[in-house]
Structures are given as C-alpha cells and as structure tokens.
Structure 1
C-alpha cells in the first residue's frame, strides 16, 4: 500500500516542480494604449516626465529629465519590431556650473579614522 502512494506523491511532486506554463499570458493581438506622467518637486529639484502611445504595432513617445547642471534632457523615441528602438536625444537650456568651490576634502590615511 505504501508503494503506490509513494509513486503517486513522486509523480505529483515532479508535475508541480516542472510546470509547462511559465511566464505571463499575453493577448494574441497587441492592444493600443497611451499614458503619461510628470513629477515636479521644487523642494528636492526633481523634475521629469514621460508620454507614450502605441497603436498595437509601434510605440512612440518622449521623456524629459531635469539634469543637475540646469539643462533639460529630452528623448523622443519610436520602437517597432522592424527597426527596434530609435531615440533622438536633445537638450534645452545652458549648463550652469558654480564658479566658487569649497576647500578640498582630505581623508586621513594609515588607519587614522574618525572616532
């Protein structure tokens, strides 16, 4: 009686350990979609956003990022199965760099750490 139950449990364990339906299930026909978002936090200096649309075959959109030097980076892109991902990167504004800097940072050497 133990042998048939053992065989049944082994078969069940192997079946559960090796499923044939890995990954998500995708629709047979790609669906059109569109979305956009924007984040602008003046206190932290965070400013970015994205817009994207698809007709089910191709995707096109753009995203922007405020860079630390004061410029804005704009990436316009398209993507499809024939040409792949194609991006055009541009910048607006002028880079701003501080003219005054503080003293050099010096780290202690030979184990002279902070206590």
Structure 2
C-alpha cells in the first residue's frame, strides 16, 4: 500500500510540474530591457559608504569610501566585443590617519 501511495505521489508531482513552450519565446529581443537600478549605504559610525547605479543603457557607476578617506568611483560601459570597460577615478585627498590597523 505504501508503494502505491509513493507512486501516486510521484505521478501527481510530475503532472503538476509546469511545462514551458520554448518555441514561442523570443530568444532575440529587439529592444533592450527597461530598468533603473540604484542603491547606496552609509554607516557613519563604522566609516562605511558605498553605492551603485545602473540604468538600462549598458553603463553604470559605483562608488566606495576607501580607508584613506578618498572615494573610489568606477564608471563602466559595455563596448561590443571589448566587454565591460571601466574608468576608475578618486575623489578627495589621501589621509593615512583614516587608515585602520
């Protein structure tokens, strides 16, 4: 009786699983995805500050407060076969008194 119950359970799960028709799905979309992604975080007590922004235009930017007091900003784009190309800049003045041991 237990074997029959297990068999019926397995058959029920198989019949209930979703099916996907891949033939009707568009694997080559003609328009890019539409989104705008952004976040930032700051914890002044710990000295942490960072964030990220990325619109749907194959580019974006993120930043992080470094231990020496400067902010590192990375701006990136996607350039065809070259892939992601990053430009790194620093804001502020290096101050080693901020460096944690």
Q: TM-score, normalised by structure 1?
A: 0.54
Report the Cα offset of residue 80 of structure 1.
4.5
- Counterpart of 2:70 in structure 1 is 71
Which residues in structure 2 correspond to 1:2-17 (within 5 Å)? none
CA–CA distance in structure 2, aligned partners of residues 60 and 82 of structure 1: 15
Report the Cα offset of residue 28 of structure 1.
4.2
Runs of 4+ in 1 over 6 A off after TM superposition: none
Q: TM-score, normalised by structure 2?
A: 0.61
Structure 1 spans left out of the alignment, 5+ residues: 1-25, 99-115
Report the Cα offset of residue 27 of structure 1.
5.8
CA–CA distance in structure 2, aligned partners of residues 27 and 34 of structure 1: 22
Equivalenced residue count is 71
CA–CA distance in structure 2, aligned partners of residues 47 and 85 of structure 1: 24
2:51 matched to 1:52? no
Q: Give 1 or 2 for the bigger CA radius of gyration.
A: 1
Kindly report the root-mean-square deviation, in angstroms, between the aligned alpha carbons of the 2 structures.
2.1
Which residues in structure 2 correspond to 1:1-115 (within 5 Å)? 28-29=28-29, 30-55=32-57, 59-98=58-97
